[in-house]
Copies of this chain bind each other. A is one copy, B any other.
């Protein structure tokens, strides 16, 4: 059994590759839920949805979010009623949020709801929120704290960031099965997701980091940074804001206490020795995932090391 830690967009590409190169029934995908938020009164879990839609083969690969071919009829009318329309909710996607909100209000946990949704969409891999409790990634800016979605979607990651925090993380519990999945896995994969706001919240869940250190399985990470820049999204900006070195080395350093093997891009070959100085075996590989074939070959490269 493989345990995979991931955020949304970037990580979803590798998750897709892994699900095609292994038996998806043997996968447990532990997702960031720090970006979860309530909009229009609906509970939205962007990373859980991106991963579930990706595994169901219905994700919109071009946009990197939502369901392929979705329509936006309800959203336009929500806007007509004065509702916020900066977060693009498709009609099919909306059904996911309506269902999640209803089931949560009926007393199901977020992991039970996530299981219900992935089963309905025919997803064989287990998709697990990092926690059933509410953890909220907060972005500190000179003008005050904002939610991750406001920073990421509404402001398109522009403007100065002075800090990132995970409200509720210290009191939350790992979702049922999460710690066991890491401890009992034959391999653990840290996807090339934002180390600050995608993997960071998962590592902030009490017990996760310890489980990663303790597990006997090899822990492999893929760098989300190539030549000092994020492959996608604001990872580089947020790493800089957190005082991290914006490079593959900076990512490796953040994971040094639990990662056994680190995959970096050919362009970063010069960093290999420096990263190995952290005690992490480092492999230079093709880690850009433009095509489905790229995703599958990187997945094969990763899985072959386990």
Contacts and interface: CB of A to CB of B under 8 A. Distances in A.
A226 interface: no
A282 to B, nearest CB: 43
A52 to B, nearest CB: 12
Interface of A: 40-42, 70-71, 73-78, 80-83, 91-92, 94-96, 98-99, 101-102, 105, 116-117, 120-121
Given A91-B74, A95-B74, A81 B40 contact: no
If over half of A's interface residues share one DSSP class (helix, strand or loop), that class is named, otherwise mixed; here it is: helix
16 contacts: A40-B99, A41-B102, A42-B98, A73-B91, A73-B92, A74-B91, A74-B95, A75-B95, A77-B95, A78-B95, A80-B95, A82-B99, A83-B95, A83-B98, A91-B91, A94-B94
Contacts of A81: 95-96, 99, 116-117, 120
Contacts of A71: 71, 73, 91
Nearest to A75: B95
Contact of A94 (B74, B82, B117): B74
Given A81-B120, A120-B82, A40 B98 contact: yes
Contacts of A94: 74, 94, 98
A95 B42 CA distance: 12
Most buried by B among A70, A73, A99: A73
Most buried by B among A74, A76, A92, A117: A74
A296 to B, nearest CB: 28
Nearest to A71: B73
A9 to B, nearest CB: 22
A89 to B, nearest CB: 10
Contacts of A120: 80-82
Given A71-B73, A105-B41, A78 B99 contact: yes
Nearest to A105: B41
Nearest to A41: B102
A91 B234 CA distance: 33
A105 to B, nearest CB: 6
